[in-house]
Chain A
Amino acid sequence: MTRPNAKEIKAIADVAGMPVSADIAARIADSIGPAFEGFAAVAGTLPFDLEPASFLLVQTAKVSK
């Protein structure tokens, strides 16, 4: 996953109905960059059928030592 740059963030925020200045867009890019980089190895690799509810299935499965 590529981290969005300030220009892209400004466009995304506009679409979200929350316009931000160029300065704030640059600051946001710096703030969220590490999250995109940390998740990069996972993003785009998940199997087709995986959906968020799979978390509840794993959480409630009986697990013992």
Chain B
Amino acid sequence: MNVHQISTEPALMSLTEVAQAIAQKRLSSREATKSCLDRIAQWQPHLNAFMAIEADTALAAADAADAAVAKGNLRGALHGVPLAHKDMYYDAGRVVTCGSKIRRDFVPTSTSTALQRLKDAGSIRLGSLQMVEFAYGPTGHNAHYGAVHNPFALDHITGGSSSGSGSAVAARLTFAALGSDTGGSIRMPAHFCGVTGLKTTYGRISRAGAMPLSQSLDTVGPLARTAEDCALLLGLMAGADPEDPTAAGGLVPDYMAATRGEIKGLAIGVPTAFYVDDLDPEVARVLDETIATLKREGATIVQVELPDQRQLTAACHLVVSVEAAAFHKRWLIERPQDYGPQVLMRLQNGLAIPGVSYLEAMRWRGAALAAHNAAVAGVDAVIAPGAPVPAPTIAESDVGNSPDADNVIARLTRFTRPTNYLGLPSLSIPSGFTRNGLPVGMQLIGRSFDEAMLLRIGAAFQRATDFHARVPKLA
């Protein structure tokens, strides 16, 4: 741990570092919280990453956490650590907007399981983070609350839909943040903003109390600075939940232990097609460099021929379109004028898909996963870019419901949707930068419920590189 960082700017520490520093009384929760609030005051006018900032209550909670430390009462692994999350996790008694006008004043009466588990571990609340309206969009634009800006280049997008989570973690305004991933909504902000993001296996973390978009595809996961931070959060949140029958039971692996493993002898698959086609040259360069680093660290690189990913993308499109339209049907009838143009357009799409087509897409899912498992039988993980391009500008991707919108959305989500359809875990790790200073991330795609392997590879990569440690600066 860098002592200089503790004495000058605690917000620059990683989640695991700050949690240990507070527990060991080397840093107070107030110092950590104040440091985040100072950076929020500095950056928020430029980023628009926060939906709500709750400075007074955060400092009061920090003081209570410090008093507990003084008495030797630690609540858990996140005691006194300030966090903020995507504004779609229900928190009883607090407004949760879901990035929408429709839920601008919505106050839930219960708290989401994932959030409650982080609270039970001792974390405190800094506020809530911006997001794409109802988590239905890949760019980070929001017709009601404005676009969120990329800390590494303010005129560029963050990616979505966990736009505030990506932006705030990258700018070191929060030590980590919950996101959600239905079609790439954790991995795209991670790729574009240079942070580590974990899309979990479908069923790994309870979805209870998390705003639904597509019940068959929705997943909860963290964005943080390191794979180790993601491991800590996953270990706290994973496991069975009586409130969500789709949450998997059984023992939760020791994900932190996994991050200490080496990658010597592991086999990493490089797709022969699709994920290596039509790449921006700088993304292609970073992919090559990442493969070279993994090889240098002892991994074996193997070519893998995956099943047709375009079919998986199409199936994902059919499923999410119908399920999202069904969730929103009442508001589509009663309040269509209260949606942003692009979200309304995409919700209307689901109305036109016949029930038989939707169910065919659902029926094929098991067979498609079995075919994928057979194709990757010889490797421990598959590597692929998070997106084929670095972050576009906010202006060029502000397409609303224009005829260009479908193309922009399809291009950005090209490398993420297949994984959602198959329900697989995928860890996005900062892997390089373009010549203009834009981050580029790589996905490590694993087997169902084998997040531990991805975190092991990601942590080893981060021990060998420093892309995840680069801090954006305001001009």
A residues lining the B interface (CB < 8 Å): 1, 4, 9, 12-13, 16-18, 20, 24-25, 27-32, 34-39, 41-44, 46, 50-60, 63, 65
Contacts and interface: CB of A to CB of B under 8 A. Distances in A.
A10 to B, nearest CB: 9
B349 A58 contact: no
A38 B359 contact: no
Nearest to B409: A31
Given A31-B345, A55-B423, A59-B203, A39 B352 contact: no
Contacts of A20: 348, 351
Contact of B364 (A29, A38, A42): A42
Contact of B423 (A29, A44, A59, A63): A59
Contact of B363 (A1, A24, A46): A46
A53 to B, nearest CB: 8
Given A30-B403, A43-B357, A60-B448, A38 B349 contact: no
A1 B357 contact: yes
A9 B447 CA distance: 38
A39 B107 CA distance: 40
A59 B367 CA distance: 10
Given A18-B329, A65-B267, A65-B378, A52 B363 contact: yes
26 contacts: A1-B357, A4-B354, A12-B352, A16-B351, A18-B348, A28-B352, A29-B352, A34-B314, A38-B310, A39-B311, A39-B314, A41-B308, A41-B311, A43-B357, A44-B360, A50-B367, A51-B363, A55-B423, A56-B366, A58-B370, A58-B373, A59-B203, A59-B449, A63-B447, A65-B378, A65-B379
Interface string B188-208: 000000000000011100000
Nearest to B405: A31
- Considering residues B201, B349, B379, which has the most beta carbons from chain A within 10 angstroms of its beta carbon? B349
Nearest to A24: B348
A41 B302 CA distance: 28
Given A18-B332, A30-B406, A38 B311 contact: yes
B363 A35 contact: no
B377 A65 contact: yes
The 8 closest A-B pairs by CB, nearest first: A38-B314, A54-B366, A35-B317, A55-B366, A55-B365, A52-B362, A39-B314, A9-B352
Contacts, number: 128
B359 A52 contact: yes
Interface string B254-269: 0000000000000100
Contacts of B47: none
Contact of A54 (B349, B353, B367, B373): B367
B361 A39 contact: yes
Given A13-B351, A24-B348, 15 more contacts: A4-B352, A13-B348, A18-B333, A28-B348, A35-B321, A36-B357, A37-B314, A38-B313, A41-B311, A42-B364, A52-B366, A55-B423, A56-B366, A58-B370, A59-B448
Interface in B391-422: 401, 403, 406, 410
Interface in B322-346: 329, 332-333, 345-346
A59 B317 contact: no
B318 interface: yes
B129 interface: no
B23 interface: no
Given A24-B348, A35-B318, A58 B311 contact: no
B242 to A, nearest CB: 18
B363 A17 contact: no
Contacts of A31: 345-346, 349, 406
- Considering residues A17, A18, A29, A35, which has the most beta carbons from chain B within 10 angstroms of its beta carbon? A35
